[in-house]
Amino acid sequence: MGQYDAPQKAKDAGVYPYFRPIESDQDTVVKIDGKPVLMFGSNSYLGLTNHPRLKEGAIKAIEKYGTGCAGSRFLNGTLDIHLELEDRLAKLVHKQSALVYATGFMVNSGVVPCITGREDYLIFDEYDHASIIEGKRLSFSKQFKYRHNDMDSLEKILKKCDPDKLKVIVTDGVFSMEGDVAKLPEIVELSKKYNASIMVDEAHSLGVFGKTGAGVCEHFGQSDNVDLIMGTFSKSLGTIGGFIASDENIINFLKHNSRTLIFSASITPASTGCVLAALDVMAEETWRKDALWANTNRSKEGFLKAGFEIGPTETPIIPLYVRDNTKTFMLTRMLMDDGVFVNPVVSPAVPSEDSLIRFSLMATHTFEQVDEAIEKISKNARILGIIE
């Protein structure tokens, strides 16, 4: 570790793109080094992080419950508003019961190791989120990885499994870097054929997909066929935290066995009050989801017209493939100088030949902001020879 100097080299080259301090709220325009910058690197899909009702919900919760619970949910850290939130979330995603954790990462890293035993099977999409992979590492079960969204690859694995053992397929609903959507109807079909269970991570689809914003399970009409539904509060719902929803027996088991729940402090009163308010806003201000998709469609059209390769994205996450680590860093730096904040994705997160700029949208972006960002990104990409 003492020899690790990659960040220092990037800083010396003037292209280090991480830990950039923001001096304002997470809005469509943020302040960095005292200057306004267009924010196209945020997961605040519905644009709720500075919504007055969310702020009010957080403040009222602090006034009543204080700033923290000083313990885990298992012992002294369960509040009545935690139970209220769990009831609301279970109803939202069409499940019997839900369990709230302090972060989304803790949900996946704490649930995945619990749901199968030594002789059972965990089966993953190769592009699943790092929190799922972390949970997999903690499991003693037999583990298989199928090629991304490849149903033939998944079926070959299912065929290998002992038909009498528990099999759980774990997939992201929306894949956070590529922006594509899990083939959930096909996964459900295979799960029925091979008697497997399914867990779906709705982190990047909650608030974005489905009639009520419940995610891709609702969007595809498959909520009843998915055994566990995970979601996070740090994207569409404007704060931090996460949950798992399932039937009452599974949630009861997790409440007494999931180590990241039992041995971590509770989600704060402020975040809990914030999510309760966010669920109300999401249900009432339905224009937000419509605006998000309008911005998404305009952006995709603009980037394709400019000559960018954007892959199979179907969501407000638009990957702009650069396919070169150095150019990805350079483009990020040039755009920051030009007043546009985007996120670079380079190896080892992806192979160097798949490096990309992750462009993500909010409901509150204006068409003028979208067009300005596309123009500036295209201009700088031409300078670097990424597009013609």
**Active-site residue 365, yes or no?**
no
CA angle 301–307–308, rounded 5-degree value: 80
Nearest one of 140, 139, 138, 135 to 101, comparing CA atoms = 135
In this structure, what token pair is assigned to residue 360?
């993500």
In angstroms, rounded to a whole number, what is the distance separating the alpha carbons of residues 164 and 142?
14
Which token pair is 177?
């870097």
Q: Indicate which residue of 136, 204, 219, 289 is catalytic.
A: 204
Tokens, residue 254: 């997790």
Angle at 273 between CA 269 and CA 278, to 5 degrees: 145
Among residues 176, 197, 246, 355, which one is catalytic?
176
| Catalytic site residue from 235, 289, 327, 376 | 235
What letter would DSSP give residue 41? S
**What is the Cα–Cα distance from 143 to 75, expressed in whole angstroms?**
33
Instruction: Give the C-alpha separation, 230 to 213, whole Å.
Output: 14
For residue 319, give the nearest of 148, 134, 174, 104 by alpha carbon. 174
Question: Is 204 annotated in the active site?
Answer: yes
- Tell me the two tokens of residue 256: 């007494």
Strand order in the sheet with 29-32: 29-32, 35-39, 340-341
CA distances from 148 to 38, 128, 152, 172, 183 (A): 32, 9, 10, 11, 10
Strand order in the sheet with 142-146: 97-101, 242-246, 228-232, 197-201, 167-172, 121-125, 142-146
Annotation says 60 is catalytic: no
Residues known to be catalytic: 176, 204, 235
